[in-house]
Amino acid sequence: MNKNGIKALVFDAYGTLFDVHSVIEKCNELFDGKGVEISKTWREKQLEYANLHQIMGNYKSFYQITNHALHYAVKLHDEQLDKRAENELLKAYLQLSTFPEVKDVLTQLQDKKLAVFSNGSHDMLDPLIKQSKITDIFDQIISVDEIKQFKPAVASYKYAAKELKVKPEEVLFMSSNGWDISGAKNYGFHTAWINRQNLPIEEMDMEPTIIYHDLTGILEWK
Amino acid sequence: MNKNGIKALVFDAYGTLFDVHSVIEKCNELFDGKGVEISKTWREKQLEYANLHQIMGNYKSFYQITNHALHYAVKLHDEQLDKRAENELLKAYLQLSTFPEVKDVLTQLQDKKLAVFSNGSHDMLDPLIKQSKITDIFDQIISVDEIKQFKPAVASYKYAAKELKVKPEEVLFMSSNGWDISGAKNYGFHTAWINRQNLPIEEMDMEPTIIYHDLTGILEWK
């Protein structure tokens, strides 16, 4: 991979720029001490439902899916979700924290074309990016909702490349999600897996181009 | 749903007829005391990889996926998988136990058309069913490998109906897997969710026709 051949640095949002488990605190407050497990199930079900809707061909927006996954997670852990709790938790999802290094790293990379490319729909993605005060850093915020094809479908990455007006091999794509890295590689992006949790590489014959423990690693692409 | 309108009783295999966690013992033997967590990750990754390959459009057989998921699970739990352990565990997957009520229930339903319809490829499904001595009970063993489209894709259930020579609404489909019930319902089968673990209904707007705690419930369809 040649540094000069890369025209766009493209970032996944959830888990990569934003810490989805920063809702634990609110979950703990609402469901006494069950914040960790509810938050974990919520995220797992959110990903599973996105995959299943993609496979079944009955797309729903990531906002709807996030709401459905929340309902499932709360039930699984024997709690009740009233309307107030639902609203507070969905609101918390629009206020996730960025990981500590995010803003500094992005600021240093501003002479490249920078984009977010997410499964999130704009109704959740735009307010989230706005409240974190990093909107202006990005040239484009691309949501799969624009074509209703979730990552890791080939059609989704292809759409992102088209919107960015670059060839697949001109993209370096960053994600903390192994499945997203596999999907990006399957389409033809270069990939940097942000392996925040020190997990094994996914066994999908789709290895990342490079692995970093957090986003500071990509500063070598300046 | 009219009992007389049902022409075929169709069963998922893994988790429904066969207990995938019956490999725990072998896992415990090979990875001192980590049987429960390795077996759990193994199953979760197996399902995730099948979904991801389906979405990415790069099909691999369930046997290959099961092997890949095993490698991931063992690494995640900080263990090593040598060739001998790999062989023993994959062999254990061909010798899963049926749930206790399975044989008796199936025997009582033999005047209906009975079929297995599984994501498993024949190289793992056929020996598994054979060793459990229930092969002769079934009229058909249908694998998605024949068309390389994993459940819950519409194409997979459609293929099963075609092979069974019945209309979707003439099928009662049994699965313990919520995602499989959602997929079958999405295509148009009647569904009986075998909710062995007392889990919440999946939040996918695809509720099962009926819910039983184990397969004895379906005897009312005799």
Share of residues in chain B with pLDDT > 90 (%): 93
For chain B, say whether A221 makes contact (Cβ under 8 Å). Answer: no
Same domain? B121 vs B209: yes
Q: Which of A41, A46, A52 to mutate to test the interface with B (most CBs of B within 10 A)?
A: A52
Q: How far apart are CA B81 and CA B169, in angstroms?
A: 45
Q: Report CA B134 to chain centroid distance, whole Å.
A: 15
DSSP assignment letter at B94: T
For chain B, say whether A178 makes contact (Cβ under 8 Å). Answer: no
Pick from A45, A49, A152: CB nearest B52:
A152
pLDDT value at residue A222? 81
Q: Report CA B79 to chain centroid distance, whole Å.
A: 27
Closest chain B residue to A197 measured between Cα atoms? B76
Residues contacting residue A45 through CB under 8 Å, at least 6 positions apart: A68, A69, A72, A73, B203
Same domain? B140 vs B86: no
pLDDT value at residue A161? 98
Residues contacting residue B62 through CB under 8 Å, at least 6 positions apart: B46, B50, B118, B119, B120, B121, B124, B144, B145, B150
Q: Does residue A21 register a pLDDT over 90? A: no
Q: How far apart are CA B93 and CA B78, in angstroms?
A: 21
Mean pLDDT, rounded, for B17-46:
93
Same domain? B115 vs B49: no
Q: How far apart are CA B82 and CA A201, in angstroms?
A: 18
Contact B37, B27 (CB under 8 A): no
Same domain? A111 vs A154: yes
Q: Does residue B109 register a pLDDT over 70? A: yes
Residues contacting residue A89 through CB under 8 Å, at least 6 positions apart: A23, A26, A27, A30, A70, A81
Mean pLDDT, rounded, for A136-156:
97
Q: How far apart are CA B17 and CA A123, in angstroms?
A: 42
Interface subset of B 148-167, CB within 8 angstroms of A: 150, 152-154
Of A169, B177, A30, give the one whose Cα is nearest residue B185: B177
Contact at CB, B56 and A202, closer than 8 angstroms: no
| Tokens 């054979």 belong to residue | B130
Same domain? B67 vs B126: no
Angle between helices A62-76 and A35-56 (to 10 degrees): 130
Q: How far apart are CA A15 and CA A21, in angstroms?
A: 8
Same domain? B149 vs B171: yes
pLDDT value at residue A112? 87
Contact at CB, B56 and A153, closer than 8 angstroms: yes
Contacts of B199 in chain A (CB under 8 A): 76
Contact at CB, A76 and B152, closer than 8 angstroms: no
Closest chain B residue to A184 measured between Cα atoms? B56
Of A119, A220, A219, A113, give the one whose Cα is nearest residue A166: A113
Same domain? B89 vs B113: no
Same domain? B32 vs B75: yes
Range of A22-36, A154-168, B14-28 with top mean pLDDT: A154-168
* CATH code, B201: 3.40.50.1000
pLDDT value at residue B1? 63
Mean pLDDT, rounded, for B31-37:
93
Mean pLDDT, rounded, for B113-141:
96
Cα→Cα distances A218→A108, A109, A123, A178, A193, Å: 10, 9, 29, 17, 10
**Half-sphere exposure in the Cβ direction for B77 (13 Å, CA):** 21
Contact A59, B205 (CB under 8 A): no
Contact B188, B168 (CB under 8 A): yes
Q: Does residue A2 register a pLDDT over 80? A: no
Cα→Cα distances A5→A29, A183, A210, Å: 48, 21, 16
For chain A, say whether B199 makes contact (Cβ under 8 Å). Answer: yes
Q: Does residue A44 register a pLDDT over 90? A: yes
DSSP assignment letter at B96: P
Of A111, A107, A113, give the one whose Cα is nearest residue A10: A113
Q: Final residue of a domain: which of A92, A124, A149?
A: A92
Q: Final residue of a domain: which of A66, A92, A118?
A: A92
Angle subtended at Cα B173 by Cα B172 and Cα B178, rounded to the nearest 5 degrees: 135
Same domain? B199 vs B113: yes
Q: Which of B41, B52, B189 to mutate to test the interface with A (most CBs of A within 10 A)?
A: B52
Contact at CB, B51 and A56, closer than 8 angstroms: no
A168 band by pLDDT with thresholds 50, 70 and 90: very high
Pick from B54, B76, B200: CB nearest A55:
B54
Q: Does residue A199 register a pLDDT over 80? A: yes
For chain B, say whether A57 makes contact (Cβ under 8 Å). Answer: yes
Contact at CB, A200 and B76, closer than 8 angstroms: yes
A3 band by pLDDT with thresholds 50, 70 and 90: confident
pLDDT value at residue B21? 84
pLDDT digits 0-9 by tens, A97-138? 999 999 999 999 988 899 999 999 999 999 999 999 998 999
Q: Which two tokens stand for residue B169?
A: 């609404």
Pick from B49, B68, B154: CB nearest A56:
B154
Share of residues in chain B with pLDDT > 70 (%): 100
Tell me which amino acid residue B106 is. Answer: L
Q: How far apart are CA A214 and CA A197, in angstroms?
A: 9
Tally of structural domains, chain A: 2
Contacts of B183 in chain A (CB under 8 A): 52, 55-56
Give the minimum alpha-carbon distance from B134 to chain A in angstroms, rounded to a whole number: 31
Interface subset of B 24-53, CB within 8 angstroms of A: 45, 48-49, 51-53
Q: Report CA B30 to chain centroid distance, whole Å.
A: 25
Same domain? B104 vs B9: yes
Residues contacting residue B8 through CB under 8 Å, at least 6 positions apart: B112, B113, B114, B115, B164, B166, B170, B171, B172
Residue B197: count other Cβ atoms within 10 Å of its Cβ. Answer: 9
Tell me which amino acid residue B115 is. Answer: A
Same domain? A181 vs A105: yes
Same domain? B13 vs B28: no
Pick from B69, B153, B199: CB nearest A55:
B153
| Tokens 């007006």 belong to residue | A165
Contact at CB, A182 and B52, closer than 8 angstroms: yes
Q: Which of A76-80, A218-222, B93-97 has the lowest mean pLDDT?
A: A218-222
* CATH code, B51: 1.10.150.240
Share of residues in chain A with pLDDT > 70 (%): 100
Interface subset of A 120-139, CB within 8 angstroms of B: none
Is B12 marked active-site?
yes
For chain A, say whether B68 makes contact (Cβ under 8 Å). Answer: yes
* Phi, psi at B113, each rounded to 5°: -75, 120
Contact at CB, B179 and A204, closer than 8 angstroms: no
Mean pLDDT, rounded, for A164-190:
97
pLDDT value at residue A1? 63
Angle subtended at Cα A32 by Cα A27 and Cα A35, rounded to the nearest 5 degrees: 35
Q: Final residue of a domain: which of B58, B93, B128?
A: B93
Contact at CB, A48 and B51, closer than 8 angstroms: yes
For chain B, say whether A77 makes contact (Cβ under 8 Å). Answer: no
Share of residues in chain A with pLDDT > 90 (%): 93
Domain extent at residue A156? 3-17+99-221
